[in-house]
Amino acid sequence: MAKMWSGRFEKESSKLLDEFNASLMFDKELYKEDIEGSIAHAKMLNKQGILTDEEKNKIIEGLRTIEKEIEEGKFKFDISDEDIHMAIEKRLTQLIGDAGKKLHTARSRNDQVALDFRLYVQKNNKIIIDLLFDLIKTLLDISKKHKNTILPGMTHLQHAQPISFAYHMLAYASMFKRDIERFNSSYERNNYSPLGCAALAGTPHPIDRNFTAKELGFKAPTINCLDTVSDRDFALEILFNIATLMMHISRLAEEMIIWSSYEFKFITISDDYATGSSIMPQKKNPDVPELLRGKTGRAYGNLISLLTVMKGLPLAYNKDMQEDKEGVFDSVKTAKISIKILNEVLKTMKINEENMYSAAKIGHLTATDLADYLVQKCNIPFREAHFITGRAVALAESKNKDISDLSYEELKSIDNRIKEDVTQYLKLEHSMNARDSFGGTSLNQVEKQIDYFEKWLNGFQRL
């Protein structure tokens, strides 16, 4: 069967060209969006007197039949149809005759694919936001239970100061909150309809782009058709947003891998989400967080790939842009399953509080507290206090103790200006709760942060 665009050609295209040129095997993912856009277009053409009521009804009925055929696996995808748009239009004409040939009036595949792809991206912006909401709720549930669970806060992966596990989880809640805001911002910025732009310059037909924009849930039609058919910023944005999200997920995954090791034993990953070794029967591998960490690379690659495709394209549409979809489909799929499984791993993991506390007793985490105490309570200049604290650390090391376990007598032997209440200031609990500045790790501040996130979740206007 001749291709719909083949009127000016004298020879049929080669099979090799069909294979190289076609996008149907991956852009069939957009069948729902294509049908949705076509129904809106048919309604507009009818409203403008370009289609009769009978033609409109036949088209809509035929499109719904095609949608059902695809969902039931009865639709025949033929690579010679090139893409999902031509495949559906050809089948529509087979079903309803000449009325099907009128659907493409005042429309080009250029604005059609721009519409379908944008609808897909906008839909998945919403889905990812909803999944991230659930993830933050899980982090808040964990935080509520572990406001007083102490673990070593680290810099350079070295023990630094005592913090609560709740505080650590709330740091990730902060990251995922920013991710939600990015996806939300992208949705709002790109919520404009390409339909009706035709090939690049609009159409001479008396169409109503505002009608189709409203019908499809957009804020308004795009303002410039030349830009619209060649714009893939919306696709780049979701790729960037996913890449950043996956980076956040990867950082948490990395910590979970470390925490689940024998060296740390801070957490135990549920058997539901761990795997074993084919040769070592004692092994319990953190494969889920490892895969989460690994999948971040493909999200980065998809972003760089599309940036590279777009970087040198003249206006307007170019066939290079057929390479825009597979990476987006892959990143969207990766992001959705990654958020879901991370959420389940967090819900089911066991938190080993005693091991966290024991680790916080290693590395002299309250050394800074001694220096602060010497400045505040003993009126000693900070540089001198720093030196005295260094001597206290050396003394603790010589006695195979943590600085928090030194007695008053031991500390006073270093400097007689040290007062008897010093040992209270060196306790892990005191150190954690002393950091009561806004955004700090104290119980008071952690409770405020939990309250803040709960209010933000409840007040956020979902798309």
Using alpha carbons only, what angle is made at residue 4 by residues 47 and 194, rounded to the nearest 5 degrees? 45
Q: What is the DSSP letter of 104?
A: T
CA–CA separation, 115 and 100 (whole Å): 20
**Closest among 180, 71, 267, 88 to 456, alpha carbons compared:** 180
Burial 257-275 (b: 16+ CB within 10 A, else e): bbbbeeebebbbbeeebbe
**In the annotation, is 277 catalytic?**
yes
**Closest among 454, 453, 428, 427 to 439, alpha carbons compared:** 453
Out of 146, 156, 164, 205, the active site residue is: 156
CA–CA separation, 335 and 421 (whole Å): 52
What's the 3-state SS for 275-310?
ECCCCCCCCCECHHHHHHHHHHHHHHHHHHHHHHHH
SS3 295: helix
CA–CA separation, 304 and 205 (whole Å): 39
Out of 6, 261, 277, 407, the active site residue is: 277
CA distances from 178 to 174, 243, 353, 439, 453 (A): 6, 13, 29, 16, 12
Q: Which amino acid is at 211?
A: F
Using alpha carbons only, what angle is made at residue 25 by residues 201 and 66, rounded to the nearest 5 degrees? 75
SS3 12: coil
Instruction: With beta carbons less than 8 A apart as the criterion, state whether 25 and 77 touch.
Output: yes
**In the annotation, is 156 catalytic?**
yes
Q: Which residues pair with 24 in a beta bridge?
A: none
Q: What is the DSSP letter of 265?
A: -
Instruction: With beta carbons less than 8 A apart as the criterion, state whether 190 and 118 touch.
Output: yes
Instruction: With beta carbons less than 8 A apart as the criterion, state whether 165 and 267 touch.
Output: no
Q: Which amino acid is at 429?
A: E
β-pairing verdict for 192-193 and 220-221: parallel
With a CB cutoff of 8 Å and minimum separation 6, the contacts of 198 are 106, 107, 108, 110, 111, 225
Catalytic residue ranges: 156, 277
